Amino acid sequence: MDYNVLGYAIFITVIVFIIVVVGKICYRNGNIFVAELIPDHLDLCQQINKSLLVSYYLVNIGYCAMTLIGWETILSSQQLVEVMSVKVATIVCILSILHYLNIYLLTNTIHKLIK
Amino acid sequence: METTKILIGYAVYLPVALFLTFYVSKTLFKNSKVYMLDIFKGREEIANATNKLFETGFYLLNIGFALLIMKITIGANDYRNLIEALGSKIGGFAIYLGIMLFINLYFFFRGKRKAKENQRPNPFQPSM
């Protein structure tokens, strides 16, 4: 059994799952922020949010697929677990940094809008 | 047979770390709704949405960190070494979680204070 192929399969499954779940949460909770950007045009705002979601999926899943090229050759199941954890952790940390950046921007704009 | 011991270590570490993260963020964000309501001047949808977004970020950050530090190396191949390594890993992660919790609390308090400061010069007017 080629450990690398197994690793790629698990990695892509896990990472796509995480990205889709996080994207769904952001989309659902981001609607209200986006709706404040252009008042009185709810459909337009929802459309903006939808295209944001799609671009988020494209960028993140595309980046994950691109990182597959840099994997070392995996020789044992222990190494598989270690390499997988580091790879998944890198992606999740990048996601969290992006996410906090988003929250910061959103709360700043929303505070200005509420005032 | 060193591999098996380390794999046992991973099998113990991962559930414990995930459970700790889950438990801490559940308690934190159940109690943070009040602050959010204060910060956003009682506008409940925005407060709930922000709370949910922060919770997601908290999960991502902590699970990412837990996976990042997962790699266990033990000198000798026995249960004593494994337990010592696990202890230091889980302890380190718990301390990290505690620090994150306090940072989060600090942000909540700061947001609340700022919201109060902003209210004082021009008293609260319900918007829209």
Chain segment A18-51, per-residue pLDDT in tens:
999 999 998 888 888 777 777 777 788 888 889 9
Chain segment B56-89, per-residue pLDDT in tens:
889 999 999 999 988 888 877 788 888 988 999 9
- Neighbouring C-alpha atoms within 13 Å toward the C-beta of A2: 6
Please enumerate residues of A whose Cβ is less than 8 A from a Cβ of B.
22, 25-26, 29-33, 76-78, 81-82, 85-86, 88-90, 92-93, 95-96, 99-100, 102-103, 106-107, 110, 114-115
Pull the structure tokens for residue B107: 């942000």
Q: What is the DSSP string of A55-67?
A: HHHHHHHHHHHHH
Average pLDDT over residues B21-27: 91
A72 to each of A3, A4, A77, how far by Cα in Å?
A: 11, 8, 14
Across the interface, of B3, B60, B65, the residue whose CB is closest to A99 is: B60
DSSP A70: G
pLDDT of res. B15: 93
A96 to each of A55, A108, B3, B107, B122, how far by Cα in Å?
A: 17, 18, 32, 17, 36
Burial call A2-22: b when 16+ CB within 10 Å, e when fewer: eebeebbeebeebbeebbeeb
Given a contact cutoff of 8 angstroms between Cβ atoms, the answer to whether A21 and B60 are in contact is no
> Number of CB pairs < 8 Å for A and B?
84
Whether B121 has a pLDDT exceeding 70, the answer reads no
Please give the model's pTM, rounded to 2 decimal places.
0.80
Confidence band, pLDDT 50/70/90 cuts, at residue B2: low
Whether B19 has a pLDDT exceeding 80, the answer reads yes
Whether B94 has a pLDDT exceeding 90, the answer reads yes
For chain A, list residues with pLDDT below 50. none
